[in-house]
Amino acid sequence: MKMNFITDLENSLQSNSNRETAIPMENYMKNNFDFLGIKTDERRTIFKANYEKYKSEIKADFRNIGWELFNKNEREFHQCAIDLLVKEFKKNYRLEDIDLIEKLIITNSWWDSVDVVAKYLLGGYLRQFPNETYEVIERFSNSNTMWLNRSAIIFQLSYKDKTNFELLKSECEKHKESNEFFIQKAIGWALRDYSRFNPIGVTNFVNSTNLKPLSKREALRNIK
């Protein structure tokens, strides 16, 4: 049944492909990926119809199904894979799922996939297994893979007032010298997001830390 879901989803997406729409999508993503040219709302409608049809089979094997979709060529399949995994993983993690989460971050990597995986999957996993947080984040943060570094900075985006500010500050401090745009932006984004709950703490940290101009600007953007 697994192949039936994937095959049916593939057929549904392919039959709605639009090369005219695909070209600007590919350009927007710096031509890192091929696209079928299906806009977000339409893609989600197609996914939902196929999901409902094969729901029980998906729930029995969602990890393998998600990974298989994520390894297909066009970006719409990767997006469907992430939608499926975010839906199925909720409070349903196993300790070993960190291996799949890491693979999702370092495979077909770009900001659109990494940011969702980091916020919802990595963030959700570490909510369920908080004792794993320091080991996982230290490993990701020390990696030579920039996308794992970014994930270590932004994984708390859904934590709101439960954010571990000491850990966030530590990550920002560790990567503050990076010349990588996606790291500078991540630092600013994570701090800006948390500033909704602790504007004074964020302001004090930014003012006492020699952040790159982009990180500093992004961090303070919403603070009056």
**Mean pLDDT of the 84-106 span:** 97
**What does the pLDDT look like over 109-138, one tens digit per residue?**
999 999 999 999 999 999 999 999 999 999
**How far is the C-alpha of 172 from the C-alpha of 188, rounded, in Å?**
9
**What does the pLDDT look like over 146-187, one tens digit per residue?**
999 999 999 999 999 999 999 999 999 999 999 999 999 999
**What does the pLDDT look like over 23-38, one tens digit per residue?**
999 999 999 999 999 9
Residue 1 has what pLDDT? 46
Residue 2 has what pLDDT? 53
